[in-house]
A = this chain, B = another copy of it.
Amino acid sequence: MTTNRLIYLPLGGAGEIGMNAYVYGYGAPGEERLILVDIGVAFPDMDTTPGVDLIFADITWLEQRRDQLEAVFITHAHEDHVGAIGHLFDRLGSPKVYARAFTANIARGKLAEYGHGDKAVTVANAWPEQLEAGPFRVGFLPISHSIPESSALVIDSPEGRVIHTGDFKLDVTPLVGEAFDEDLWREVASTGVRALVCDSTNVFTPHAGRSEVVVGPEITQLVNDSTGMFVATTFASNVARVKTLADAGVAAGRSICLLGRAMRRMIEASIKTGVLSDFPLVISPEDARNIPRENLMLIVTGSQGERRAASAQLARGKHMGLSLKPGDTFLFSSKTIPGNEKGVIHVINSFSELGVDVVDDTSGLYHVSGHANRPDLAKMHEVVNPQIVIPMHGEHRHLREHTKLAEQSRRKGVLAVNGTMVSLSGNAPEIVEYVETGRTYLDGSVQVGALDGIVRDRIRMALNGHVTVTVVLDEGDEPLGEPWCDLMGLPETGRSRAALQEVLEEDLSQFLNRAGKKMLSDDKKLEEGLRRVVRQSAQDEIGKKPEVTVVVSRLT
């Protein structure tokens, strides 16, 4: 008889910040009944993923076991937790999806893009309600974060209780949404907790986190002191912050206008699902045009400098009939995510050129993080008092540091990156298997594997340029006319001052003249030879070796 076991298997999020996807299972080895916690995206960049639209965890392992999958639970509505639900829902066999009302609203929007109705997501109530999912009973335990209705999951199995924090901070005055309720958490943990699976993103921040409530007075002061138009950006999903900004504007006698689809979408969802009941009246961009600028406040998308978002549009000039000018103020009530610095700086410099005063978060006055810092993590460990701490949601350095932190208070820490299957049964946690994981790219409308070589080829073209070589051969394998080249992304002239195209064609021509029958009759050899000529000739002329496509046309 095989003993049942409780397993934890991160497929995404344990090794990066983004694309969260964590599997729990219970049952006989290989036959565990499974649940998935979160199914998020990560964002591409030009350095490593040019042209890619979104990045998901590779869910092949779970797809192959979708008959074992009981349900998907979404902790909160940030893209890195819910963003892939629409794209991967079918591959997972249209599983049951549970989320709280606000999160469900967002998840339904994503599923609707793939033609799935609202029924695809079931709204869950907060703790103490628990949902059955095979051998599991799962409850949504409210926790504060930078988006409404963020929840930890209380995952009960025959092997005991696991608490999966989701993203969180310990905020007792979060303004919108539920405060961290320490007494409730202690009560939930009082039955004993086998494992705490815990957010790690801010483990390197040494001071205790600050409450959302602290930024309100600072922002209000700033708006009061400003004379021209006031524009502020933050993450659209940070509904509490959007409300703080709007309240500050109203207090200063300004009308509020929201710009950006995501901004309006999030506020609508918040109002519709009841997490936001007293948001100020907003006006349309059309009406905003007729309001004196000192009586106007725009709250806009684009805190990360995204090219198409409202902030970048305003930085480039007019947007929705509105434009900024000297004397106006632009506030980044947000943190710049690593990798987005250049985009944000570009927007700031564009505003500078317009004479707009930009205030960013360097002072620390106008933004607080949504994640638990190092002392908050230590407190969470203490409150839950688990046997095991498994750091999740973080790069390797975060997981490692968080593991160390757990071990400092003599708890068992487990460093488990994506693909590490940990058994939580028995006397001590044990790594029982390494599962192949990776990344899937959404590229246009197609899902491709990160290792398919597609993106690698694109990067090479971006670095080296591209040459197409065309040769036509007659029935006797003799060249018909001269070979020719088409260049893309390459300089027109090089060392010899002659046109690069002509130099390449001349060298190819000489090569063909020298080539023997054996070479000319063998497509593969001929292509290889032509490619080598182009790369060497280009190296001599321009100091780089382009990517080459060789087309040999044979008349038959």
> Measuring CB to CB, which residues of chain A are less than 8 angstroms from any residue of chain B?
45-47, 50-51, 204, 338-339, 341-342, 345, 348-349, 351-353, 358, 362, 395-397, 400, 443-446, 448, 452, 454-455, 457-459, 461-466, 468, 470, 472, 480-481, 484, 486, 488-495, 542-544, 547, 549, 551, 553, 555-556
| A338 vs B341: C-alpha distance when bound (angstroms) | 6
A135 to chain B, nearest CB (A): 34
List chain B residues, Cβ under 8 A from A47.
45-47, 342
CB closest residue in chain B, given A399: B352
| A395 vs B350: C-alpha distance when bound (angstroms) | 10
List chain B residues, Cβ under 8 A from A396.
349, 352-353
A420 to chain B, nearest CB (A): 13
List chain B residues, Cβ under 8 A from A488.
457-458, 461, 466, 547, 549
Q: Do A543 and B445 have beta carbons less than 8 Å apart? A: yes
CB closest residue in chain B, given A459: B462
The contact of A468 among B400, B454, B465, B549, by CB within 8 Å, is: B549
Q: Do A543 and B444 have beta carbons less than 8 Å apart? A: yes
Q: Do B395 and A345 have beta carbons less than 8 Å apart? A: yes
Q: Do A349 and B46 have beta carbons less than 8 Å apart? A: no
Given contacts A51-B462, A446-B542, contact A468 B358 (CB under 8 A): no
| A215 vs B335: C-alpha distance when bound (angstroms) | 28
CB closest residue in chain B, given A349: B396
| A444 vs B443: C-alpha distance when bound (angstroms) | 30
Q: Do A51 and B463 have beta carbons less than 8 Å apart? A: yes
Q: Do A486 and B543 have beta carbons less than 8 Å apart? A: no
Q: Do B468 and A551 have beta carbons less than 8 Å apart? A: yes
A136 to chain B, nearest CB (A): 32
Given contacts A446-B543, A470-B553, A491-B446, contact A465 B454 (CB under 8 A): yes
Pairs of residues from A and B, 7 with the lowest C-beta to C-beta distance, nearest first: A444-B543, A445-B543, A462-B462, A444-B544, A458-B489, A50-B462, A352-B397
Given contacts A46-B462, A465-B454, A470-B551, contact A445 B395 (CB under 8 A): no
A493 to chain B, nearest CB (A): 8
Q: Do A345 and B338 have beta carbons less than 8 Å apart? A: yes
CB closest residue in chain B, given A362: B204
The contact of A494 among B445, B492, B494, by CB within 8 Å, is: B445
Q: Do A50 and B463 have beta carbons less than 8 Å apart? A: yes
CB closest residue in chain B, given A395: B349
| A413 vs B447: C-alpha distance when bound (angstroms) | 55
A sample of 16 more A-B contacts (CB under 8 A), given A51-B463, A466-B488, A472-B555, is A47-B342, A51-B544, A341-B341, A349-B397, A352-B397, A352-B400, A444-B544, A445-B495, A445-B543, A445-B544, A446-B495, A457-B489, A458-B489, A466-B549, A468-B551, A481-B556
